[in-house]
Amino acid sequence: MRRTSVSIYLSLFLAVVNAQEWTIKARKTVLREENGVWAQELAILHEGDNVTACMKDGQPIKEGKWLQVKFGGQEGWVQETAVTDQKLETTRRRFTDSGGTSYDEVALATKGFSPEIENSYRGQNPNLKDAYLLVDEMENDFHPPLRKNSEEERQKVRVLRESLEKFRKDGNLKSRGDLR
């Protein structure tokens, strides 16, 4: 009896050790209810967020290009290209909030070509100032970099999915390709 309970504790411990953790490597991606781009959004995931793989027979569950994962008590699907099995390095960085107060926060370490280099490049090329504003505007049209998990962000993602779905139906386009 005692051995059985020891083995149960041990198996629980090993199950936790074995839990496959992945990190979101895209700036933003969506946790969906089902494994398809037309499925409802459950949550917006951001770069550096950790998700746990759902397992079956000791293997992570994968359907096509989608992985089934758990995040914040929810179970859903993410595109596999948005996920990495490597730990992303972090660093302490100094931020300044809108009120001008500076504070330190743990952030993902930016490697090589980073915002820091972009700022330096922009400093050396003042003629690109307006052009960079247009790039920001271009990025804001879809996938806007909004505050983490804000309602506004969720709303934008939902509207995008619905507008794409309407566009697809109106144009008699396919929901899923069957070539290759």
Partner 1 sequence: MRIFIMTVAVAIVMSCQKIPQLHTPQLHTPQLPVPNNTRSAVDTAKKGLKTVKEGVEVYEKASEELDERQEHYVGRAVAAQIFAKYPLHSDTELRQYVNLVLQTLVLHCDRPETYGGYHLAVVETDVVNAFAAPGGFVFVTTGLLKAVENEDELAAVLGHEVAHVVKRHGVKAIEDSRFNSAVGGFILKKAGEFSPRELAEATKIFTESIGDVVKTVLESGYSQDAELEADREGVVYCARAGYAPDAALTLLERTVGKGEAGNFSTHPGGKERVSRVSQIIEGRRAPVDPKRTARFQLMRARIAH
Rounded Cα distance, 56 and 78, in Å: 17
Task: Return the residues of window 161-180 that contact partner 1 according to CB under 8 A.
Answer: 163-164, 167-168, 170-174, 176-180
What's the DSSP call for residue 140? H
Interaction between residue 116 and partner 1 (CB under 8 A): yes
What are the backbone dihedrals phi and psi of residue 39, each rounded to the nearest 5 degrees, phi first? -80, 155
Residues forming a β-bridge with 132: none
Task: Return the residues of window 8-47 that contact partner 1 according to CB under 8 A.
Answer: 10-11, 14-15, 17-18, 20, 22, 25-29, 37, 47
Interaction between residue 154 and partner 1 (CB under 8 A): no
What does each C-alpha distance from 92 to 48, 106, 176 come to in angstroms?
14, 4, 43
Among 104, 137, 151, 152, binds partner 1 (CB under 8 A): 137
Pair of tokens at residue 158: 């939902």
Rounded Cα distance, 77 and 36, in Å: 8
Interaction between residue 6 and partner 1 (CB under 8 A): yes
Q: Would you give the binding string for partner 1 spanning residues 66-105, x where CB under 8 A is met?
A: -x-----------xxxxxxxx--x-x-x------------
